[in-house]
Amino acid sequence: MEAVRMRFIAEVSARFAAARDSEAKAELIEELADNLVLRYQEQLASGAGEDEAYAAALNGLGDVSELISYLNSVSAGQAASSDPLESLLNDLEDITQNVFFKAKTAIEDVKKRLREEESASCGAPRSRSGGRRESGRQASAERESLSPELPLSAKDLRGVDVRIVNGDVKLSFSESEDGNVLFSGNVEELELSRTADGVLLIRQGRTASSSSLFRLGLSSSDVELCLPRRDWEFVQVNTANGDVELDGRCPVGSVSVKTATGDICGELEACSELTLYTASGDVDWHGSAGTACVESASGDLSLDGRFEDLTVTTVSGDVDLTGSLGEAKCSTISGELALESLTLPRSLSASSKSGDCFLRLPGAPEQPFSVRVSTRSGDVSSAFPLRRAPGGFICGQGGPEYALSTVSGDVQIEKL
Amino acid sequence: MSMTADTLRGNTDTIILTLLMRGDSYGYEINKSVQRRTKGEYGFKEATLYTAFKRLEQNGFIRSYWGEDGPGARRRYYSITEEGRRQWEENVRDWETTRSLLDALFDPDYDDEEG
């Protein structure tokens, strides 16, 4: 039922997009969404199907324009407010809107790009086997069609771009540093090509008609890919419906994985840029990254590694972060935050609306640090010296000041 | 039904005040009470209900507070104020006057000479 509640929150938030962000707005959205959940349950109890119940409940919302006017009048009167917890609620509400907006656009983005590519290639004649003929090179002067059944040398490749609609993607690295790219899984469903500047493109659907089947969700195939273990400039995977797994002790410059409904798991030696996004799946990642951005609407996020600059965002999922942190910013609305760093971060902020927050730091740090804790109704405990301060508590003294904020969750700071 | 719906909608504030006269309640429950009293013929849209809540609250006729409703759950309750009770009495008097006027105006057999 939590997923339905989050759907209603996203929908109601979208209807209130014209209202200025405020605590009153956040509370009203929560209240209306909760009522819609009750209406939804009532519909289900009376025998309606899930989709029918959702539509009927949402219909009960009505025209919110007067409420938007009210909220804007209230927020105009409170513009000078400087309550840090109110700011936290505003920030968290922004997160909710942003994450759900991305969730909504993730599938549309993949489908749109596939449509564009399909449209661009529909004029090119195709061979009987479905692949483009050599004569189609006027359309592929910058892109050479490849066969997944034939050996493909990785020598001139610098990156991989996988974009599929339905199916899981598994990408691994072989022990050899040179050699071929190996394909497995439903290779007969793949359309492969290589750009002039060394990018391997992998798409679903070798013919226009099969592409349409994938796009309409009527067909699904998994993609398995094994690359030689050497420096890769980038790996990019986009899938609308499917899990993504990356595995291998191999350095990659930039890694970007986006899936609308699947889980993401991976273990990579290192990458300079890491972007992981899933709307409803979980993320389980091991490895180090320079700049990392990890987001999920409702999934749990588990990260283990050394992260120089990390941003983690989820709406209802938990965050479990272990390793060594440089700069880190973690946010969740209703999930639990468990953060553990073997070294003192340069900066750290973590916020949750209703979830608890656990922070574990070195017990005998080489330099001083402090943690500012803000909570409205949660309990605060710390293995480090703790004292009251305006707006909450301060733990430790001097050095970089970390920030932990919750509205109703508990905060616990422990020593490693 | 459109006249009925318009009439009911025009008396949203009084309907809410009436239901809160029986005790504190929350949005969904108030709407359920409306549906029960009208035997399912009428219910508020959420937006209509909450616009009225905000209006009544701004006028000091009701107040609201967050109440716990089971572990981890919270719910905003509404209660009527003394000023709200006075307003309700005034609204009911106004309605009775209006109803008697409409009864007279809607009566084709009304004796104009006697009136």
Q: Is residue A360 part of a domain?
A: no
**Residue at A392 is within a domain:** no
Q: Which pLDDT band, with edges at 50, 70 and 90, does A81 fall under?
A: very low
pLDDT digits (tens, 9 = 90+) for A178-237: 788 888 877 777 788 888 889 998 887 655 545 554 554 545 678 888 998 888 999 999
* Contact assignment for A67 to B48 by CB distance below 8 Å: no
Strands A264-278 and A283-296: parallel
Domain locations along chain B:
2-105
Would the CB atoms of B47 and A66 count as touching at under 8 Å?
Answer: yes
Please state, in angstroms and rounded to a whole number, the distance separating the CA atoms of residues A149 and A188.
Answer: 8
Least Cα separation, residue B85 to chain A (angstroms): 24
A345, two tokens:
């971060």
Overall average pLDDT of the A66-91 stretch? 66
Q: Which residue of B has its CA nearest to A63?
A: B47
Residue among B26, B78, B105, B40 nearest A46 (CA): B40
Q: State both tokens at A41.
A: 């349950």
* Distance between A34 CA and the closest CA of chain B, angstroms: 9
Which of B47, B75, B76 lies closest to A61 in CB terms?
B47
What residue in A sits closest to B30 (Cα-Cα)?
Answer: A35
Choose the closest CB to B45 out of A27, A60, A70.
A60
A-chain residues near B72 (CB < 8 A): 354
* Tens digits of residue pLDDT in B68-109: 665 556 789 999 999 999 999 999 999 999 889 988 898 888
- For residue B96, the model assigns a pLDDT of 92
Across the interface, do A32 and B28 touch by the CB < 8 Å criterion? no
Q: What is the mean pLDDT of residues B19-27?
A: 93
Asked whether the predicted pLDDT for residue A245 surpasses 90, the reply is yes
Lowest mean pLDDT: which of A132-136, A190-194, A238-242, B38-42? A132-136
Out of A129-133, A377-381, A384-388, B87-91, least confident range: A129-133
- Closest residue in B to A39 (Cα) is B28
Chain B environment of A34 (Cβ under 8 Å)? 28, 75
B46 with A61: Cβ contact below 8 A: yes
Contact B27 A35 (CB under 8 A): yes
In this complex, the residue of B28, B51, B72 whose CB is nearest that of residue A66 is B51
Q: Output the average pLDDT for chain A.
A: 79
Per CB-CB distance under 8 Å, the chain A contacts of B46 are 32, 35-36, 60-62
Of A63, A70, A354, the CB nearest to B54: A70
Phi, psi dihedral angles at A259 (to 5 degrees): -140, 145
Judged against a pLDDT cut of 70, whether residue B1 lies above it is answered with no
**A-B contacts at Cβ under 8 angstroms:** 39
Residue in chain B nearest A334 by alpha carbon: B72
Domain membership of residue A309 (yes or no) is no
The mean pLDDT value for B50-71 works out to 86
Give the per-residue pLDDT at A83.
Answer: 57
**Over residues B48-60, mean pLDDT:** 94
Task: Looking at the complex, report in whole angstroms how far the Cα of residue A408 sits from the nearest Cα belonging to chain B.
Answer: 9
Kindly report the three-state secondary structure assignment for every residue of A46-104: CCCCHHHHHHHHHHCCCCCHHHHHHHHHHHHHCCCCCCHHHHHHHHHHHHHHHHHHHHH
Question: Mean pLDDT, to the nearest integer, of B25-54?
Answer: 93
pLDDT band at A363 (very low <50, low <70, confident <90, very high): confident
CA distance B107 to chain A (A): 36
Q: Is residue A217 part of a domain?
A: yes
Residues A151 and A256 in one domain: yes
Same domain assignment for residues A70 and A149: no
Helix pair angle (A2-15, A50-59), 10° resolution? 40
Q: Are residues A54 and A152 in the same domain?
A: no
The total of other beta-carbon atoms located within 10 Å of residue A84's CB is: 14
pLDDT given at position A137: 34
The third-level CATH classification (topology) of the domain covering B2-105 is Arc Repressor Mutant, subunit A (1.10.10)
Q: Is the pLDDT assigned to residue A297 strictly greater than 80? A: no
> In which band, very low, low, confident or very high, does the pLDDT at A93 lie, cut at 50, 70 and 90?
low
Q: Which of A277, A305, A324 is the last residue of a domain?
A: A277
SS3 A212: helix
Residue A262 or B69, more confident: A262
pLDDT for res A91: 61
Q: Under an 8 A CB cutoff, do B47 and A35 touch?
A: no
How close B48 comes to chain A (CA, Å)?
Answer: 7
pLDDT digits (tens, 9 = 90+) for A5-52: 888 888 888 888 878 777 788 889 889 998 999 999 999 998 989 889
Which among A35, A63, A67 is the nearest to B28, CB-wise? Answer: A35
Span A374-389, average pLDDT? 84
The pLDDT value recorded for residue A313 is: 87
Q: Are residues A71 and A197 in the same domain?
A: no
A-chain residues near B75 (CB < 8 A): 31, 34
- Among the three residues A277, A292, A323, which one is the final residue of a domain in this structure? A277
Residue A331 to residue A304: CA distance in whole angstroms: 17
Search chain B and give the residue with CA nearest A69.
B51
Write down the pLDDT at residue A186: 72
Q: Which residues of A288-316 are buried (b: 16+ CB within 10 A; e: fewer)?
A: bbbbbbbbbbbbbbbbbbbbbbbbbbbbb
**Chain B neighbors of A64, CB-CB under 8 A:** 47
Range of the domain at A152: 140-277
For A298-335, the pLDDT digits (tens) are 789 999 999 999 999 887 789 999 999 999 999 887 78
- The one-character DSSP state at A123 is T
Distances from the Cα of A276 to the Cα of A3, A279, A299, angstroms: 21, 10, 12
Q: Are residues A64 and A154 in the same domain?
A: no
Residue A25: what pLDDT? 85
* Count of domains for chain A: 2
Residue A396, classified by CB atoms within 10 Å of its CB into exposed (0-12), middle (13-18) or buried (19+), is buried
Q: What is the pLDDT of residue A290?
A: 93
Chain A residues whose C-beta sits inside 8 Å of any chain B C-beta: 27-28, 31-32, 34-36, 38-39, 60-64, 66-67, 70, 354
Q: If you measure CA to CA, which chain A residue comes closest to B32?
A: A39
What is the pLDDT averaged over residues B41-56?
93
Span A345-364, mean pLDDT? Answer: 88
pLDDT of residue A85: 56
Which among A60, A70, A354 has the least Cβ separation from residue B46?
A: A60
